[in-house]
Chain A
Amino acid sequence: MPKRTDIKKILIIGSGPIIISQACEFDYSGTQACKALKEEGYEIILINSNPATIMTDPEMAGATYIEPLTPEMVAKVIEKERPDACLPTLGGQTGLNLAVSVDDMGVFEKYGVEVIGASPDVIRKAEDRDLFREAMSRIGLRVPKSGIARTLDEARNIVKEIGLPVIVRPSFTLGGTGGGVAYTWEDLEHYAGAGLALSMIHQIMVEESVVGWKEFELEVMRDRKDNVVIICPIENFDPMGVHTGDSITVAPAQTLTDREYQKMRDASIDIMREIGVDTGGCNIQFAVNPADGDLVVIEMNPRVSRSSALASKATGFPIAKMAAKLAVGYALDEIPNDITRETMASFEPTIDYCVVKIPRWTFEKFDGSEDVLTTSMKSVGEVMSIGRTFKEALHKAVYSLEIGAYGLGILREHMDDMELRYHLSHPNSKRLFHIARAFRQNYTVEGIHELTGVDPWFLAQIQSMLELEDRLEAAESLDKVDRDLLRKAKRWGFCDRYLGTLLHTDEETVRRRRLKDGIEATFKLVDTCAAEFQAYTPYYYSSYEAEDESGPTDRTKVIILGGGPNRIGQGIEFDYCCVHCSMALREDGVESIMVNSNPETVSTDYDISDKLFFEPLTREAVLNIVDKEKPMGVVVQFGGQTPLNLAVPLERAGVPILGTSPDSIDRAEDRKRFKNLLQKLNLLQPENDTAVTFPEAAEAARRVGYPVVVRPSYVLGGRAMEIVYDEKSLKGFIDRAMGACADVSPNAPILIDHFLEQAVEIDADAVCDGEEAVVAGIMEHIEAAGIHSGDSACVLPPQSLSPLIVDEIERQTKMLALELGVKGLINIQFAVKNGQVYVLEVNPRASRTVPFVSKATGIQWAKVATRIMLGKTLKELGIRERPRPKHISVKESVFPFIRFPGVDTLLGPEMKSTGEVMGIGPDFGSAFAKAQLGAGQNLPDQGTIFFSVKDDDKPAACRLAAELTRLGFDILATKGTAAYFNEHGTAARPINKVSEGHYHVVDAIKNGEVALVINNPMGRSTVKDSFSIRRTALDSNIPYTTTLSGAEATVKAIAATRKAALDVQPLQSYHNKA
């Protein structure tokens, strides 16, 4: 069955902003799908609200709608474009949910759109727990027993039947909030009580717990001819009870006999057929009782997933690309395997290495969150590593994480048994290292297995790794380690840096010694077939083996260093830039070589670059590649802070750095040098100083004047940054900062800046060729300075700044770029207060806003920067002046608070957002409204709006309340705010604060009486008092804003949507107009 010719135009749904559990893996799959279907000659229509994606690049689709992912907007796109088919299975859960909603609206039927990949009925069958359970019992498979409860009594009765422990899952809360494992009746009261309160429909599911069982995932593909293949079995290191997204996982499965594996394989095929997924990829999760092999099915996702991206990277089999081709009618035996070329895709990959994935968490950024892992996912990113063995891969994954860990045995202090047992039996982000510590404290494999549930196979591997650590340490010095032992250590994945630590020397000494002994990294190919066939795909990993296969060419080549694992502050935006860099290099005939450790990304698609090295971003790994490839240079400015931090060490090791010189980078990053730079250029900076101890800090703060912004130096995303109003809080900060920032070097100085209150913050991105600089975009933040640039919404072009100020910002940006001799991109943050422009910081690299500016202006700035690094001038590239688009582009940030129960939603100088959306419109109101919709804030068009604001803001809030009243809304406010409004002529109904007793505002929010919350507290006690307001709004999915400027913009947006319904426009139409 070749491809279908009855469909010509296909609508692809993207997954929207990066959130926990739905990250850039869907850009990877979406991009593959767009490319694959375009290649087949279909016309692609795309909708995705996330501008930082490669899939929303205008050349990926015929028409690209960067519009909110709501059923109404999808319907509008369908009405306008009239596609023949819609492919929703590449857009994550968002894509599936949208397909079902749009189907419910009757839109597909109305416009004759066929849903391909998985039909709405199939989606319902897989997603609805009851339908799924029935389907499984029809084919003789078991799922955990469960029941639905609407009251505590009902919950108790269910538990009487299925026994403790149970999993409690509230129905219809976002991301499984409020659920948990109940081990005791007391736990049940707690979780069931909380769950019932949280659930909008007061309903929870109580499920038999199989906590501690082994968890497995299979990635399965099926075509229209009913050919089914398994791409990869994945085994979770962490047993059931820890979400797979939060588990360390290993591919292939390690501890299953062939019989057990085949049983799982048979079950997967039966499930695929029974659910009726016609074509495409599926993820199926199983639990296995370690005592007797009993098998239960946990769930199936009828779409590509985070795990399928991992499986693709782990095997070299491009699941999403194949899924797209299968969806248009191809059969697996009609599609060639990219890697071997001569064989077909209808086979099962077999691998000859071991793959380990470790998630990366950011509990430290969320005050009040508990570092425990449960059934709801909390990690924000992950690394993958490939080694010939589990030991090698595990080690590589550990240092890929960039958390300051270079080996397993990093927790060296003795921990008392009670505490250690707690850390072992309560899954947490550091459990791997606690396991290592337990071995050091003479725990046995069985003992740790009992506490953790981790399979003894994994534990014994870790134990032997620690034994080798001990042996090395016992040697006391590098000279006493013989070649055999050193080689063994390298083969087990010990990195030079860690060996240096163990042997009291440094990384470079270890490196020189091993090279002298002929212990060199060899590179092996990922080829889907364990070397049975010749492979053509240039996808490599390092190991210490007999044979190297990398075969460097003699072309001119450039190495691009990626951004490593996603984390708050460094995510998809940087990967976007790396991918563009690679594209530009290839377009210009230069061989591009990508190095990255993040399996979710587009950059680690082997299709993107001429060569891909799936490796940690460490000095050692990069030098190993440089030694083999001998590139013309290495690009460090696109991957965020990770590669930037490698610039100096690499340059010292003799590696040419392309673009802005490491010295210039240092000039911008080093506080003292930066201050001198600004002074030289006569530019303003908030008063600032540095200090190491508290007395120094107190003095410095007094000098620069309170309030002050304080932070440890060399951090990204405003990590551990705070605004401090007095000396007492300063002391608190210093005590906390020193403890919390183990990931930052301990003696790094603290930076103290005078905090500019009520200042407008500006981001400017520019390119410079060393001779000339052009500003790419100037963005005005919606929120005032003090809220991290990564968290505030922003608008391009600026709306409230005078042309004079904008010109001044442009002038300063160019001046700084030229003075620093920037070759490539630069990003500057300014604050404007009382007509004065202050420079907050200069980042001599691509910034988070590059994709947004590129989408807003229609120029791909990362490509421009790449060409500059290759020696082109701006003139030659035809880039002359700052683009001035007519349309308005708004970026809004998206936050993960819902995943962290009990955490406040207030924003500050420490970045908390995971992703972003873009809204484009003819005026600010409509663009901002789209951005809000895209971010999941459903702005009300009627109802009651609740206000509670600090005194300073009351006049401005009152104006907003008046405007809202005029628009027909009712106003509800806490007593002080209400009194002020009423006095100033706007009617407001007062309501109790929580501390004033029932019936209070939280009751009102819970009862659905409030349509929008505007809450901007001041001072510790009000912040505390109003916490439950913000949290309840979040948990009840009611839009809220915590800043007055945000509220102002929201009111403009509501007004704009009143005037005219939001309309959809393809990105291409904005830029082709000119």
Chain B
Amino acid sequence: MKAYLALEDGFVLEGESFTGEGEALGEVVFNTSMTGYQEILTDPSYRGQIVAMTYPQVGNYGINPEDVESAKIRVEGFIIREYPPLASNWRSKGNLADYLKQAGIIGVEGIDTRALTRHIRSLGAMRGILSTDVSDPAALAAKAGQWPGLVGNDMVRLVSAPEPFRWPEMTPAQSWTGGREFRVVVYDYGVKYNILRCLEKRNCEVIVLPPEGYADLFDELAPDGVVLSNGPGDPEGIPYAVAEVQRVLDRQPIFGICMGHQVLGLALGGKTYKLKFGHRGANQPVMDLTTKKVEITSQNHGFCVEPDSLASAGVEVTHINLNDRTLEGFRHKTLPLFSVQYHPEASPGPHDADYLFERFIQNMRNRKSKSHA
């Protein structure tokens, strides 16, 4: 079925829906990962976005029950160059088209995704629409222009947990059950499961809290450490989350990831800004300034912390992006707080930054031994 992608500036590309009729509005972004489409589809940070994959052939290895980063598909729409006639992998239990269809998400193939990427690269991320209603492309573009966009808006509310829950049981949680070395609260702005898996693997008991309204429970839980999760949209759209982090800043080690990093930045008095088209992919080089080593990182963000805005926040920059020199991580000079803009939990992407979880564990361990001493 014929379909159009129309951007707010009138740029239109033709393709074909591989999921039947449908329509989607959102910010159109591209991701340069060659693998990991299922993780990308289910990553809550993509809420509000139509994702185009630069790698042309997507759907090759099907869909399996394990490679999910949240309970469901989060992207608004999905753009690829070619959908395969057959998926093949020993773990595959279904195909991409059905997976999208069941979730009511439109998938379009046949688009010149490279032309699209070049367009976004030179003009910036844009609002757009995917539609199988192909009668009037100009009208589609106009419709895209009316969509409110991400800046200043709270997308987190749409994806974060409504109730506190325990990982991995996914049952409601009010208190610790014990038996693990560390007790960690994860503030959920749209958390990827793999962050939780990475903590679980390191002998942490994990309780996930919604970003707002659970301050009392938090105080009761008094965790050994806090992880601020990734999430969609503009960090300045969630002042409540920033306020909550400010409230607990000096109590225990904090580890911020992606949006969690931006929230920590804002909580420390910094500012964020929107990048022209963001970083989305699995090949972004980041230098750890403390070791001078380069790690290849998985990234997905459209906003960024302004390094100068942190000048008087008592932090030091620990990581920078080697492509565009943007801020990728900082730590507090005196408190056990640190955060990175990218995804140490990978999924999809390289495991080079796995060591950051160890740093967080070490911070919790140090604090415990201090308080025992």
Q: Specify which chain A residues have a CB less than 8 angstroms from the CB of B117 in the assembled complex.
A: 352, 530-532
- Decide if A333 touches B322 in the complex (CB within 8 Å): yes
Contact A333 B287 (CB under 8 A): yes
The interface stretch among B51-59, B134-142, B267-275 is B51-59
Can you list, as one digit per residue, whether each of A504-536 has a CB less than 8 Å from chain B (1) or not (0)? 000000000000000000001000011111100
Q: Are A352 and B114 in contact (CB under 8 A)?
A: yes
| Known contacts A258-B349, A457-B60; is-contact A252 B34 (Cβ 8 Å) | yes
B174 lies within 8 A of chain A by Cβ: no
Residue of B nearest to A522 (CB): B112
In contact, A351 and B34 (Cβ under 8 angstroms) = yes
Decide yes or no whether B362 CB sits under 8 A from chain A: no
Chain B: which residue is nearest A293 at the CB level? B90
The secondary structure that dominates the A interface is loop
Q: Which A residues lie within 8 Å of B91 (CB)?
A: 257, 293
Task: Say yes or no: A350-B114 contact (C-beta < 8 A), given A226-B293, A259-B67.
Answer: no
Q: In the bound complex, how far is the Cα of B34 from the Cα of A349, in angstroms? A: 10
* B322 touches which of A344, A464, A534, A549 (Cβ 8 Å): A344
Contact yes or no, B56 A389, CB < 8 A: yes
Q: Provide the bound-state CA to CA distance between A352 and B112, in Å.
A: 11
Contact between B294 and A531 (Cβ–Cβ < 8 Å)? no
Chain A residue nearest to B55 (CB atoms) is A352
- Whether B121 contacts A532 by the Cβ 8 Å rule is yes
B32 & A530 in contact (Cβ 8 Å cutoff): yes
Contact string, A258-288, partner B, CB cutoff 8 A, digits 1/0? 1111100110000000000000000000000
Task: Give the nearest-CB partner of A529 in chain B.
Answer: B32
**Which applies to chain B's interface (DSSP): helix, strand, loop or mixed?**
loop
A347 touches B32 (CB 8 A): no
Check B359 for interface membership: any CB of A closer than 8 A: no
Q: Are A532 and B32 in contact (CB under 8 A)?
A: yes
Q: In the docked arrangement, what's the CA distance between A547 and B11, Å?
A: 12
Chain A residue at minimum C-beta to C-beta distance from B280: A532
Docked Cα-Cα span, A256 to B115, in Å, equals 26
Q: Which residue of A lies closest to B113 (CB)?
A: A352
Q: Shortest distance in angstroms between B345's beta carbon and chain A's nearest beta carbon?
A: 12
**CB < 8 Å neighbour of A547 from B60, B61, B112:** B112
Per-residue A-contact encoding for B75-106, CB less than 8 Å = 1, 0 else: 00000011011111111000000000000000
Q: Which residues of B contact A531 (CB under 8 A)?
A: 54, 114, 117-118, 121
CB distance from A278 to the nearest CB of B (A): 15
- Is the beta-carbon distance between B82 and A547 smaller than 8 angstroms? no
Shortest CB-to-CB span from B275 to chain A, Å, is 12
Contact A457 B322 (CB under 8 A): no
Q: Across the interface, which residues of A come within 8 angstroms of B33, CB to CB?
A: 258, 350
A532 contacts B281, CB within 8 Å? yes
> Pick the contact of A290 from B36, B90, B283 — CB < 8 Å?
B90
Q: Are A225 and B293 in contact (CB under 8 A)?
A: yes
Question: Are A463 and B67 in contact (CB-based, < 8 A)?
Answer: no
* Residue contact A254 to B57, C-beta cutoff 8 Å: yes
A229 contacts the other chain (CB 8 A) = yes
Partner of A262, one of B32, B90, B114, B351: B351
**Which residues of B have CB within 8 Å of A344?**
285, 322-323
| Complex Cα spacing A173 to B87, Å | 42
A545 touches B114 (CB 8 A): yes
Chain B residues within an 8 Å CB radius of A227: 293-294
Q: Does B326 belong to the interface (CB within 8 Å)?
A: no
Count residues of chain B with CB under 8 A from any CB of chain A.
54
CA distance A389 to B58 in the complex (A): 10
Task: Looking at the assembled complex, report how far the CB atom of A548 sits from the nearest CB atom of chain B, in whole angstroms.
Answer: 9
- Chain A nearest CB: distance from B80 CB in Å? 11
- Docked Cα-Cα span, A261 to B60, in Å, equals 13
Q: Is A460 an interface residue (CB 8 A)?
A: yes
Select A352's contact among B56, B61, B287, B323, beta carbons within 8 Å: B56
A457 and B32 form a contact (CB under 8 A) = no
B323 contacts A343, C-beta separation under 8 Å: yes
Neighbouring B residues of A265 by C-beta, 8 Å: 350-351
Question: Smallest CB-CB separation from B38: which chain A residue?
Answer: A257
B61 lies within 8 A of A256 (CB)? yes
Q: What 0/1 readout, one digit per residue, does chain B (26-60) give for beta carbons within 8 Å of chain A?
A: 00001011111011000000000000001111001
B252 within 8 A of A: no
Residue A719 CB within 8 A of the other chain: no
CB-defined contacts of B60 to chain A, threshold 8 Å: 254-255, 457
- Interface hits, A284-331 → B, CB 8 Å: 289-293, 331
Contact present for B35 and A256 (CB under 8 Å): yes
B64 near A346 (CB under 8 angstroms)?
A: no
Is residue A804 within 8 Å, beta carbon to beta carbon, of the partner chain?
no
A292 and B90 within 8 A (CB): yes
What is the bound-complex CA distance between A530 and B35, given in angstroms?
Answer: 14
Which residues does chain B contribute within 8 Å of A292, judged by CB atoms?
90
Kindly identify which residue among B55, B67, B86, B347 contacts A350, using a CB–CB cutoff of 8 Å: B55
The reply to whether the CB of B296 lies closer than 8 angstroms to some CB of chain A is yes
Q: Is the CB of B57 within 8 A of A351?
A: no
CA distance A533 to B348 in the complex (A): 21
Q: How far is the CA of A257 from the CA of B60 in the complex (A)?
A: 9
Instruction: Report which of A253, A262, A346 forms a contact with B285, defined as CB distance below 8 A.
Output: A346
Whether B350 and A350, one on each chain, are in contact in the complex, defined by CB atoms closer than 8 angstroms, is no
- In the complex, whether A348 has a CB less than 8 A from a CB of chain B is yes
Most chain B CB within a 10 A radius of its CB, from A258, A259, A461: A258
Q: How far is the CB of B5 from chain A (nearest CB, A)?
A: 11
**Selected contact of B86 from candidates A258, A343, A460, A530, CB within 8 Å:** A460
Given A259-B67, A532-B121, A533-B323, A524–B114 Cβ distance below 8 Å?
yes
**B292 on the interface (CB 8 Å rule)?**
yes
- Bitwise, B11-32 to A at CB < 8 A (1) or not (0) is 0011000000000000000101
Q: Which B residues lie within 8 Å of A463 (CB)?
A: 85
A481 CB to nearest B CB, Å: 18
B191 within 8 A of A: no
Instruction: Tell me if B13 and A546 are in contact (CB < 8 A).
Output: yes
Residues on B with beta carbons closer than 8 Å to the beta carbon of A437: none
Cβ–Cβ contact B121 & A530, under 8 A: no
Q: Report the minimum CB–CB distance from A214 to chain B (whole Å).
A: 10
For A464, the closest partner residue in chain B by CB is B85
A547 B118 Cβ-Cβ under 8 A: yes
Q: How far is the CA of A402 from the CA of B43 in the complex (A)?
A: 46
A-chain residues with CB within 8 Å of residue B348 when the two chains form the complex: 258, 262
List, in ascending order, chain A residues with CB within 8 A of B38's CB. 257
Residues of A contacting B61 in the complex (Cβ-Cβ under 8 angstroms): 255-257, 457
Identity of the chain B residue whose Cβ is nearest the Cβ of A232 in the assembled complex: B34
List of B residues within 8 angstroms of A229 by Cβ: 296
Q: Are the C-beta atoms of B35 and A258 separated by less than 8 Å?
A: yes
Whether A546 contacts B112 by the Cβ 8 Å rule is yes
A35: CB under 8 A from chain B? no
From A260, A293, A389, A464, contact of B57 by CB (8 A):
A389
- Whether B55 lies near A460 (C-beta < 8 A) is no
Q: Is B156 part of the binding interface, using a Cβ–Cβ cutoff of 8 Å?
A: no
| Interface: B282 (CB within 8 A) | yes
Contacts of A257 in B (CB 8 A): 35-36, 38, 61, 64, 67, 89, 91
Query: CB-defined interface of A233-259 with B at 8 Å, one 1/0 digit per residue?
Result: 000000000000000000011111111
Q: Chain B residues near A460: list those with CB within 8 A.
A: 84-86, 88
- A354 within 8 A of partner (CB): yes
Pick 18 A–B contacts, CB within 8 A, sort by A: A252-B34, A252-B55, A256-B89, A257-B38, A257-B61, A258-B39, A289-B90, A347-B284, A347-B296, A347-B322, A350-B283, A352-B32, A354-B56, A531-B114, A532-B117, A533-B323, A546-B13, A547-B114
- The 7 A-B pairs with the shortest beta carbon distances in the complex, nearest first, are A460-B86, A258-B36, A547-B115, A258-B348, A546-B112, A530-B54, A457-B88
* A-B contact sample (5 more), CB < 8 A, given A266-B351, A293-B90: A256-B89, A258-B36, A352-B32, A388-B56, A445-B86
- Listed in ascending order, the chain B residues whose CB lies under 8 Å from chain A are 13-14, 30, 32-36, 38-39, 54-57, 60-61, 64, 66-67, 81-82, 84-91, 112-115, 117-118, 121, 281-285, 287, 292-294, 296, 322-323, 346-351
Interface residues of A (CB under 8 A from B): 225-227, 229, 252-262, 265-266, 289-293, 331-333, 342-344, 346-354, 388-390, 445, 455-457, 459-461, 463-464, 524, 529-534, 545-547, 549
